[in-house]
Amino acid sequence: MRLPPEHLLLDGPVGKIEITVENPGAPRGIALIAHPHPLFGGGNTNKVVQTLARTFNHLDYVALRPNFRGVGRSEGRHDDGNGETADLLAVLAEAKCRYGNLPVALAGFSFGAYVQTRVAEALLECGHPAQRLVLVGTASGFVEGARRYHTKAVPGDTIVIHGSEDATVPLANVLEWARPLELPVVVVPGADHFFHRRLHVIREIVSRAWRH
Protein backbone atom coordinates (compact mmCIF):
# COMPACT_ATOMS: atom_id res chain seq x y z
CA MET A 1 0.00 0.00 0.00
CA ARG A 2 1.52 3.29 -1.12
CA LEU A 3 1.75 5.95 1.54
CA PRO A 4 0.93 9.64 0.98
CA PRO A 5 3.98 11.84 0.28
CA GLU A 6 5.83 13.06 3.37
CA HIS A 7 7.55 16.41 3.72
CA LEU A 8 10.47 16.20 6.14
CA LEU A 9 13.11 18.52 7.54
CA LEU A 10 16.30 16.62 8.37
CA ASP A 11 19.49 17.89 9.97
CA GLY A 12 22.29 18.37 7.44
CA PRO A 13 25.89 19.58 7.60
CA VAL A 14 24.90 23.28 7.57
CA GLY A 15 21.27 23.21 8.68
CA LYS A 16 17.92 21.76 7.79
CA ILE A 17 17.37 19.87 4.53
CA GLU A 18 13.83 19.80 3.15
CA ILE A 19 12.86 16.47 1.58
CA THR A 20 9.79 15.06 -0.12
CA VAL A 21 9.46 11.30 0.41
CA GLU A 22 7.27 8.93 -1.61
CA ASN A 23 7.10 5.51 0.02
CA PRO A 24 5.61 2.46 -1.72
CA GLY A 25 4.98 0.87 1.68
CA ALA A 26 7.44 -2.03 1.62
CA PRO A 27 10.39 -0.62 -0.34
CA ARG A 28 12.97 -2.86 -2.01
CA GLY A 29 15.38 0.00 -2.49
CA ILE A 30 16.13 3.68 -1.86
CA ALA A 31 16.10 6.16 -4.75
CA LEU A 32 17.82 9.47 -4.05
CA ILE A 33 16.91 12.06 -6.67
CA ALA A 34 18.69 15.39 -7.23
CA HIS A 35 17.22 18.48 -8.88
CA PRO A 36 18.66 21.03 -11.35
CA HIS A 37 20.70 24.14 -10.56
CA PRO A 38 19.30 26.18 -7.63
CA LEU A 39 20.52 29.50 -9.05
CA PHE A 40 18.51 28.94 -12.23
CA GLY A 41 15.19 28.03 -10.63
CA GLY A 42 15.87 24.37 -9.87
CA GLY A 43 13.98 22.66 -7.07
CA ASN A 44 12.55 19.29 -6.08
CA THR A 45 9.22 20.03 -7.78
CA ASN A 46 10.89 20.09 -11.21
CA LYS A 47 8.92 17.88 -13.60
CA VAL A 48 11.87 15.68 -14.61
CA VAL A 49 12.68 15.12 -10.94
CA GLN A 50 9.05 14.31 -10.16
CA THR A 51 8.97 11.88 -13.11
CA LEU A 52 12.07 10.09 -11.81
CA ALA A 53 10.58 9.88 -8.30
CA ARG A 54 7.29 8.44 -9.53
CA THR A 55 9.06 5.98 -11.79
CA PHE A 56 11.14 4.64 -8.91
CA ASN A 57 8.13 4.61 -6.63
CA HIS A 58 6.33 2.34 -9.11
CA LEU A 59 9.43 0.12 -9.08
CA ASP A 60 8.90 -0.16 -5.28
CA TYR A 61 11.69 2.17 -4.23
CA VAL A 62 11.21 4.79 -1.55
CA ALA A 63 11.95 7.99 -3.48
CA LEU A 64 13.59 10.93 -1.72
CA ARG A 65 13.68 14.36 -3.34
CA PRO A 66 15.76 16.80 -1.24
CA ASN A 67 15.93 20.50 -1.93
CA PHE A 68 19.51 21.70 -2.27
CA ARG A 69 20.90 24.42 -0.01
CA GLY A 70 18.98 27.69 -0.23
CA VAL A 71 15.98 26.14 -2.01
CA GLY A 72 12.59 26.00 -0.31
CA ARG A 73 13.07 25.35 3.41
CA SER A 74 16.59 23.94 3.02
CA GLU A 75 19.13 26.08 4.86
CA GLY A 76 22.55 27.20 3.72
CA ARG A 77 23.88 28.72 0.49
CA HIS A 78 24.69 27.25 -2.90
CA ASP A 79 28.12 25.60 -2.83
CA ASP A 80 28.87 24.64 -6.47
CA GLY A 81 28.27 20.95 -5.84
CA ASN A 82 30.62 20.46 -2.89
CA GLY A 83 28.20 21.07 -0.01
CA GLU A 84 25.38 19.62 -2.08
CA THR A 85 27.28 16.32 -2.29
CA ALA A 86 27.72 16.31 1.49
CA ASP A 87 24.01 17.03 1.95
CA LEU A 88 22.95 14.14 -0.29
CA LEU A 89 25.24 11.77 1.60
CA ALA A 90 23.65 12.95 4.87
CA VAL A 91 20.16 12.35 3.47
CA LEU A 92 21.18 8.89 2.32
CA ALA A 93 22.59 8.01 5.76
CA GLU A 94 19.32 9.06 7.37
CA ALA A 95 17.31 7.11 4.78
CA LYS A 96 19.23 3.93 5.62
CA CYS A 97 18.46 4.46 9.30
CA ARG A 98 14.76 4.87 8.51
CA TYR A 99 14.24 2.24 5.81
CA GLY A 100 17.09 -0.22 6.30
CA ASN A 101 20.29 -0.99 4.45
CA LEU A 102 18.56 -1.31 1.07
CA PRO A 103 20.09 -1.05 -2.42
CA VAL A 104 20.57 2.59 -3.42
CA ALA A 105 19.72 4.11 -6.80
CA LEU A 106 21.07 7.58 -7.54
CA ALA A 107 19.18 9.72 -10.03
CA GLY A 108 19.65 13.31 -11.04
CA PHE A 109 18.73 15.92 -13.61
CA SER A 110 21.15 18.53 -15.02
CA PHE A 111 23.19 19.98 -12.12
CA GLY A 112 21.65 17.25 -9.96
CA ALA A 113 23.09 14.59 -12.29
CA TYR A 114 26.53 16.19 -11.97
CA VAL A 115 26.25 16.12 -8.16
CA GLN A 116 25.17 12.47 -8.22
CA THR A 117 28.37 11.49 -10.05
CA ARG A 118 30.21 12.93 -7.03
CA VAL A 119 27.94 11.11 -4.58
CA ALA A 120 28.55 7.85 -6.47
CA GLU A 121 32.31 8.36 -6.25
CA ALA A 122 32.07 8.98 -2.48
CA LEU A 123 29.96 5.85 -1.94
CA LEU A 124 32.40 3.77 -3.98
CA GLU A 125 35.37 5.08 -2.00
CA CYS A 126 33.77 4.10 1.31
CA GLY A 127 32.94 0.60 0.06
CA HIS A 128 29.17 1.03 -0.36
CA PRO A 129 28.66 1.57 -4.11
CA ALA A 130 25.27 2.56 -5.48
CA GLN A 131 23.22 -0.14 -7.18
CA ARG A 132 22.87 2.00 -10.33
CA LEU A 133 22.73 5.60 -11.55
CA VAL A 134 20.22 7.39 -13.77
CA LEU A 135 21.52 10.69 -15.18
CA VAL A 136 19.25 12.94 -17.25
CA GLY A 137 20.44 16.07 -19.08
CA THR A 138 23.79 15.70 -17.30
CA ALA A 139 25.68 18.95 -16.74
CA SER A 140 29.10 18.39 -18.30
CA GLY A 141 31.65 20.62 -19.96
CA PHE A 142 30.96 24.34 -20.42
CA VAL A 143 27.34 25.25 -19.75
CA GLU A 144 26.38 28.78 -20.80
CA GLY A 145 25.39 31.02 -17.91
CA ALA A 146 26.86 28.64 -15.34
CA ARG A 147 30.40 27.27 -15.45
CA ARG A 148 32.52 24.37 -16.59
CA TYR A 149 31.55 21.03 -15.06
CA HIS A 150 34.18 18.36 -14.52
CA THR A 151 31.76 15.46 -14.32
CA LYS A 152 33.08 12.35 -12.59
CA ALA A 153 33.44 8.92 -14.17
CA VAL A 154 30.55 6.54 -13.53
CA PRO A 155 30.01 2.76 -13.86
CA GLY A 156 29.32 1.30 -17.29
CA ASP A 157 25.74 0.32 -16.44
CA THR A 158 24.76 3.93 -15.71
CA ILE A 159 21.65 5.03 -17.60
CA VAL A 160 22.48 8.33 -19.33
CA ILE A 161 19.54 10.05 -21.04
CA HIS A 162 19.92 13.23 -23.10
CA GLY A 163 17.77 15.23 -25.48
CA SER A 164 18.92 15.72 -29.05
CA GLU A 165 17.78 19.36 -28.95
CA ASP A 166 19.23 20.26 -25.53
CA ALA A 167 20.30 23.90 -25.79
CA THR A 168 21.38 24.16 -22.12
CA VAL A 169 23.82 21.24 -22.06
CA PRO A 170 24.67 20.43 -25.70
CA LEU A 171 24.59 16.74 -26.53
CA ALA A 172 28.21 17.05 -27.73
CA ASN A 173 29.28 17.88 -24.14
CA VAL A 174 27.85 14.65 -22.79
CA LEU A 175 29.24 12.57 -25.66
CA GLU A 176 32.70 14.02 -25.01
CA TRP A 177 32.41 13.03 -21.33
CA ALA A 178 31.02 9.57 -22.13
CA ARG A 179 33.46 8.68 -24.94
CA PRO A 180 36.55 7.81 -22.86
CA LEU A 181 34.33 5.92 -20.40
CA GLU A 182 32.83 3.86 -23.28
CA LEU A 183 29.49 4.81 -21.75
CA PRO A 184 26.32 4.47 -23.86
CA VAL A 185 24.07 7.55 -24.06
CA VAL A 186 20.36 7.20 -24.79
CA VAL A 187 19.46 10.13 -27.06
CA VAL A 188 15.80 11.13 -27.14
CA PRO A 189 15.06 12.67 -30.57
CA GLY A 190 13.41 16.07 -30.41
CA ALA A 191 13.76 16.44 -26.63
CA ASP A 192 14.94 19.73 -25.17
CA HIS A 193 16.75 20.10 -21.84
CA PHE A 194 13.53 19.90 -19.83
CA PHE A 195 12.05 17.03 -21.86
CA HIS A 196 8.84 18.90 -22.64
CA ARG A 197 6.31 16.37 -23.97
CA ARG A 198 8.95 13.65 -23.57
CA LEU A 199 8.74 12.91 -19.82
CA HIS A 200 7.02 9.59 -20.54
CA VAL A 201 10.10 8.50 -22.50
CA ILE A 202 12.28 8.92 -19.39
CA ARG A 203 9.83 6.80 -17.42
CA GLU A 204 9.82 4.06 -20.05
CA ILE A 205 13.63 3.95 -20.41
CA VAL A 206 14.18 3.62 -16.66
CA SER A 207 11.35 1.13 -16.12
CA ARG A 208 12.58 -1.14 -18.93
CA ALA A 209 16.17 -1.05 -17.67
CA TRP A 210 15.15 -1.95 -14.12
CA ARG A 211 12.97 -4.86 -15.14
CA HIS A 212 15.68 -6.58 -17.17
pLDDT per residue over 159-212, tens digit each? 999 999 999 999 999 999 999 999 999 999 999 999 999 999 999 999 999 986
Q: Which amino acid is at 81?
A: G
In this structure, what DSSP letter does residue 9 have? E
Q: What are the pLDDT digits (tens) for 61-109?
A: 999 999 999 999 999 999 999 999 999 999 999 999 999 999 999 999 9
Q: pLDDT value at position 144?
A: 79
Q: pLDDT value at position 211?
A: 81
Core vs surface per residue 5-37: b (16+ CB within 10 A) or e:
eeeeebebebeebbbbbbbbeebebbbbbbbbb
How far, in Å, CA of 212 to CA of 201, rounded?
A: 17
What pTM value is reported for the model?
0.97
Q: pLDDT value at position 188?
A: 98
**pLDDT range class, residue 1, cuts 50, 70, 90:** low
Distances from the Cα of 97 to the Cα of 56, 60, 92, 100, 210, angstroms: 20, 18, 9, 6, 25
Mean of all residue pLDDT scores within the chain: 96
SS3 132: strand
Q: What are the pLDDT digits (tens) for 120-172?
A: 999 999 999 999 999 999 999 999 777 899 999 999 999 999 999 999 999 99
**Portion of the chain with pLDDT greater than 70, in percent:** 99
Distances from the Cα of 21 to the Cα of 1, 29, 152, 157, 158, angstroms: 15, 13, 27, 26, 23
The average pLDDT across 4-33 equals 96
Question: What domains are there in the chain, each with its CATH number?
Answer: 6-211 (3.40.50.1820)
